Structure 1
Amino acid sequence: MTMLPTPVGASPAREPFAVIKPFAGMARSYLGLLTLSLLLAGCAIGPDYQRPELSTPAQFKQIEGWTQAQPNDALERGSWWQLYGDAELSALVERLNISNQNLAASEAQYRQARALVGAARSSFSPRLDSNASRSRSSSTNASDGTQVIGNGYDLSLNAAWELDIWGKLRRNLETSQADYQASAAELASLKLSLQSELVQNYLQLRVLDEQQRLLDATVAAYARSLQLTENQYNAGIVPRSDVTQALTQLRSTEAQAIDLQWRRAQLEHAIAVLVGVPPSELTIAVSEQLPALPEIPVALPSQLLERRPDVAAAERRVMAANARIGVAEAAWYPDLTLSASGGYRGSSFADWISLPNRFWSLGPQLALTLFDGGARRAELERSEAAYDQTVAEYRQTVLDSFREVEDNLVQLRVLEQESQVQQQALDAARESLRLIDNQYRAGTLDYNSVVNVQATALNNERSSLDLLASRLLASVQLIKALGGGWEQE
């Protein structure tokens, strides 16, 4: 009886347990190798992350009560737009949070970064593959030169596990986690920026509504003045020039009122796009009440600046760049992989899955690049330069955050002082207009004096509204600069 040759690593059918002894010896060797690998895995090649040093002021120049801050975007921001006490504004911001397309795109990018973390974490687990194939091949018989044609059947199961001896996989995971956290911070930063843009547009729209009411009331007052002047002209009391002056003033103010319409419409269109609908599908009714101006606390806690998402995103980019240095340094060390495979290989389908056709293999693989023409050195230098870049960008982001807070604090402080003086000027202009109007009606003044005082009063009314708009917008910008309000929850 002819015996079939035994496949490499397989045992003959009559001695199914003959392989136990050598396998046990190899198992002990591999167990020792695995133990050594796990001990070495306690160290990871490359620098551990430490926050870059920053030269920051102990307190802000424009307000008392500030201390040095450290980025912490996990602090709660809250619904800061509710500080303005406008229900319609709050409803629009909620629509933005759900339907804004730029926000949806950033959220999809955030989910991609989260998936990459899962992919990096999966590299710590063994990989298991299966393969089944059938082939037909020919060979030449060495004894008689005839050609032999045969079939081949192969069924195998392969396992491989890369041991993270030098920390390359851990550094890869650190990179993915930092990128994921940066993506989350960038999503929060974009949301805050879009919310700020919507609130500013809405506040400007409401100020325009107030200016429209002012101009409409002024037009009505000028129309009454024109009627009075025409009556006096018809009675021969005043010259024709008074009538033309009154008419000029009325038409000029009507033109100013009309000019507000396109400005309001454009703000309404911008809000529509921000909430994710075409401009034709959003109409914001005129409101009779202006949103409230938030009262800024005398002393703002420094922790509020810590939650700025752009600062957090910049620091997470530094963390990712630092981990990439470790990945580049690990490329100088060998990769150790434990692999095992087994299956059946035969020339006949009928007895393909049988003991004589069994094969297996088990063993470690150590791979090391001996020469690459300087590619690893270049990659390490690139990673170190990228780290230096992210550190500089992080420091600049922190400096910009301090500047923005300082700018908005001083703007609000100066605007408040200016508003107090402007209110005094407005009160004086209203009183002057009342006196001049009475004198004109009594016939003691010409209409030219009335026109000048009326123009001064209207300019002061509009200046007061412009100042209120500037204060409202500056408050929104301060909230954004602080990372989302000053309410602590």
Structure 2
Amino acid sequence: MKTASLFQLSSLRLPLCAAMTALLGACASYQGIAPGAKAIEQVNLPAIQAAQQTQDAWPHEDWWRAFGDAQLDRLMNQALTNSPSLALAQSRIARAQAASSLANAGSGPQATLNTDASYGRQSENYVMPKPPLGKGGEYVSTGRAAIDFGLDLDLWGRNAALIRAANAQLDASRYDHDAARLALTTSIARSYAQLAAQYELQDVLLATQKQRQSIRTLTDQRIKSGLDTRVEQKQAESSEASIRADLAQLNTSMEATRLQLAALSGQMPTAAREIGRPALSAPAYAVPQNLPLDLLARRPELAAQRARILAALGDADAAKAQFYPNINLTAFLGFQAIGLNNLLSAGSMVSGIGPAIHLPLFDSGHLRANYAGKVADIDGAIAQYNQSVLTAAQDVAEQLTRIAALSTEEEATQAALAASEEAYRVAMLRYRGGLSPYLTALTVETQLLAQRRAAADLRARRLDLQVALVRALGGGFHDNAAPLATNKH
């Protein structure tokens, strides 16, 4: 009989071992899931000699002060204090800070005080040994008051990964605030430069209006002398009225620009009337020598995208840790009794300590699907970052190209303006002397107006390109980010 029993036991070993092997092999696995995207770590820009290159040419945080305009400084300060867009970005930082604190709290020990009391019928066949005679089946009160302790040992780094992800999201929200600040300040500067250009165009139109008034007075004199007809008189009146219409349209545009500046600086529309004529001085233009090297660290939106890659990596690490056993240490200390009158007696004291182990075996692919989704988030974050890098490189190259071509265009425009000024002077002399008709003088004067407008437009473009380049270079932002490592999954 004993031999038969041993034979039966030995015959069970093979299927038992096979079952254990199959059980372990059926555990959830993350094999075969890994990110495939690679982040761009270097920027290549064309060799464009737009201007002098200096090591200290990167914009400073308060870059707009280089324009030397006290009114612009005041608008910037009001915007940085009152802008709703910056307040929204700040609220997102506070939200990310709370999420980071929550993730950090999850890695520490937890202790809670739990008390409960109940009254009900006791089973005659529940506790071991059976209740004393006369107790089973009776209605009694029970109670428990204890402090329960818990600690996640985090052997596989899940909590640490969640903390890294939360901290990276906090960094991203801070960089988003920097990006919002840069977008706001450059928008104000570009609108302010536009207002300066509108004032300069107003000067051109007023000077032209004065010229046309002089021409109309001269035409009236020539009509009295019989040298011109009413046709020339109506032409002079028409050209003068055209300038008045241009001035009225320009005044409307200037008022709209002031309203835009008031809104951007976080003020009500009534503040627009207090914005006077800009007094901008164009700062000396220079390009940083280490432009390609430092561009990735000088753009706040690129730093935000890098932080989101790190956050995605942390989330993926946390998802991978779920494939391993989760071991928690639990303990309790307190009182438990049948009969509330006995709850706080010395004999009712209870305590205990021990591990709680959770090992996923069969989950129908839930863990793999979750991990695959987190890995896909890594690829998506890297793709967004790479797109931002390409956009940043294109932005900088475009601004450098435009600025490089601006000097040549300015020289040609100045030459054309000088020629138009001389042509207008000669045409007016001939018209006064009766050697050429009014139509010739009007044609030359129209060409002169066009060249004056072109010169004013070029000066406005130079200011606008200065601000655009400041935005492209990051506006004084700097992030000492380490190279991304995305191939460990």
> Normalised by the shorter chain, which TM-score bucket?
0.7 to 0.9
Listed one character per residue, the Cα deviations across residues 55-97 of structure 1 (whole Å, up to 9, x for unaligned) are: 7455533238999xxxxxxx98421111222111111111111
8 Å CA contact retained: 2:334, 2:349: yes
The CA distance in 2 between the partners of 1:298 and 1:396, in whole Å, is: 24
How many aligned residue pairs are there? 435
Match of 1:89, SS?
helix
Note the C-alpha offset of 1:364: 1.0
Q: 2:464 aligns with which of 465, 468, 473?
A: 473
Unaligned runs of 5+ residues in structure 2 are 1-30, 126-132, 479-489
Q: 1:386 aligns with which of 356, 364, 377?
A: 377
Match of 1:463, SS?
helix
Match of 2:166, SS?
helix
Match of 1:465, SS?
helix
Where does residue 60 of structure 1 map in the other structure? 46
Note the C-alpha offset of 1:446: 1.4
Match of 1:236, SS?
coil
Q: 1:219 aligns with which of 209, 213, 218?
A: 209
The CA distance in 2 between the partners of 1:473 and 1:384, in whole Å, is: 42
Where does residue 364 of structure 1 map in the other structure? 355
Where does residue 453 of structure 1 map in the other structure? 444
Percent sequence identity is 25
Note the C-alpha offset of 1:346: 2.8
One-letter amino acid matched to 1:400: T
The CA distance in 1 between the partners of 2:404 and 2:229, in whole Å, is: 49
What is the correspondence of 1:141-290 to structure 2 with a 5 Å cutoff? 148-287=138-277, 290=279
Match of 2:215, SS?
helix
What is the correspondence of 1:15-164 to structure 2 with a 5 Å cutoff? 52=38, 54=40, 56=42, 59-63=45-49, 77-139=60-122, 148-164=138-154
8 Å CA contact retained: 1:46, 1:329: no
Match of 1:110, SS?
helix
Q: RCO higher in 1 or 2 (8 Å CA, sep ≥ 6)?
A: 2
2:278 matches 1:292: no
Where does residue 19 of structure 2 map in the other structure? none
The CA distance in 2 between the partners of 1:66 and 1:158, in whole Å, is: 69
Where does residue 22 of structure 1 map in the other structure? none
Match of 2:71, SS?
helix
Indicate how the Cα distance of structure 1 residues 144 and 173 shifts in structure 2: closer, same or farther if over 3 A, else same. closer
One-letter amino acid matched to 1:103: L
The CA distance in 2 between the partners of 1:388 and 1:347, in whole Å, is: 59
Where does residue 301 of structure 1 map in the other structure? 290
Where does residue 337 of structure 2 map in the other structure? 346
The CA distance in 2 between the partners of 1:313 and 1:361, in whole Å, is: 47
Match of 2:361, SS?
coil
Match of 1:283, SS?
helix
The CA distance in 2 between the partners of 1:101 and 1:145, in whole Å, is: 70
Indicate how the Cα distance of structure 1 residues 446 and 457 shifts in structure 2: closer, same or farther if over 3 A, else same. same
Listed one character per residue, the Cα deviations across residues 117-137 of structure 1 (whole Å, up to 9, x for unaligned) are: 121111221001001222222
RMSD after superposition: 2.9
Listed one character per residue, the Cα deviations across residues 341-366 of structure 1 (whole Å, up to 9, x for unaligned) are: 01112344444322011111111111
2:423 matches 1:437: no
One-letter amino acid matched to 1:118: S
Q: 1:404 aligns with which of 395, 398, 401?
A: 395
Match of 1:252, SS?
helix
Question: Which stretch shifts more, 304-313 or 249-258?
Answer: 304-313
The CA distance in 2 between the partners of 1:369 and 1:457, in whole Å, is: 83
Unaligned runs of 5+ residues in structure 1 are 1-44, 68-74
Note the C-alpha offset of 1:280: 2.6
One-letter amino acid matched to 1:431: E
8 Å CA contact retained: 2:51, 2:286: no
8 Å CA contact retained: 2:308, 2:381: yes
TM-score, normalised via structure 2 length: 0.83
TM-score, normalised via structure 1 length: 0.83
One-letter amino acid matched to 1:205: L
Note the C-alpha offset of 1:157: 0.5
Where does residue 26 of structure 2 map in the other structure? none
8 Å CA contact retained: 1:209, 1:286: no
Where does residue 317 of structure 2 map in the other structure? 326
One-letter amino acid matched to 2:393: F
The CA distance in 1 between the partners of 2:41 and 2:142, in whole Å, is: 72
Match of 2:61, SS?
coil
Note the C-alpha offset of 1:211: 1.1
Listed one character per residue, the Cα deviations across residues 183-206 of structure 1 (whole Å, up to 9, x for unaligned) are: 111111111011111111111011
Match of 1:479, SS?
helix
Note the C-alpha offset of 1:53: 5.0
Note the C-alpha offset of 1:338: 0.7
The CA distance in 1 between the partners of 2:421 and 2:477, in whole Å, is: 37
Indicate how the Cα distance of structure 1 residues 96 and 221 shifts in structure 2: closer, same or farther if over 3 A, else same. same
Indicate how the Cα distance of structure 1 residues 429 and 52 shifts in structure 2: closer, same or farther if over 3 A, else same. same
